[in-house]
Amino acid sequence: MVIAQQELDRTNADLGRDPAKLVAWALSPERCPVVSTSFGPFAAVTLHMATQQDPHVPVLWVDAGYGTPAQYRFADELTAKLNLNLKIYRPRRSKAHREAIDGPLPGIDDPRHAAFTEEVKLEPFDRALKDLGSQVWLTGIRAEETAERAEMQPVSLARNNVVRVAPVLYWNARQMNDYLKRFGLPNNFDYFDPTKVDDKRECGLHLAR
């Protein structure tokens, strides 16, 4: 099913500042939706919004193997609390295998970093979307996080023409925290993404198609 740009524009105009309605639009069964997470800060907000409307929606976690101990504990805690239908995808090589051959994590200025990002984040993500048949991707990104995200629309075309839906794009940290408190949800700030390194840098998933 191809979603026309006109429908995306209309959805942005009508629903762009209503997270609950954006989630409902995204979770239409014919769209084969998926929700992604990295189990980073405020991850519980979008996951809770989605699973309240569809408890069985697939939740995609691309685990590159570089998360912090707290991040992995948080992943287990939140998965159990929300009874997530978690789909974990990993790089084709383990962290130990990759580092034995290619050495430790390359810095963001290292010319090898692009290939590293492709291997540990982009390829597993694309493989997951293909396996799951997903045409709509729900994500918890927010405009205040990076310069690239500040230029995005709540509903837009992303990698491989999957429709990206960001229901909390316009929410700030206070609104996110208020939501966590309202529903008694946990949070975690001890988080690391090896493809971003810097919190204000994109990992590649949300860059231009």
DSSP string, 39-74: S-TTHHHHHHHHHHH-TT-EEEEE--S---HHHHHH
Buried b (16+ CB within 10 A) or exposed e, 64-91: beebeeebeebbeebbeebebbbbebeb
Concerning whether 32 is annotated as a catalytic residue, the answer is: no
Q: How far apart are CA 39 and CA 74, in angstroms?
A: 7
Sequence-ordered strand ranges (E) for the chain: 33-37, 58-62, 85-89, 136-138, 155-157, 163-165
CA of 114: how far to CAs of 20, 31, 89, 111, in Å?
A: 35, 31, 19, 7
Strand 163-165 relative to strand 155-157: parallel, antiparallel, unpaired?
Answer: antiparallel
Q: How far apart are CA 8 and CA 11, in angstroms?
A: 5
Decide: 44 and 180 in contact? Cβ < 8 Å.
Answer: yes
Active-site option among 47, 169, 203, 205? 203
The set of catalytic residues is 203
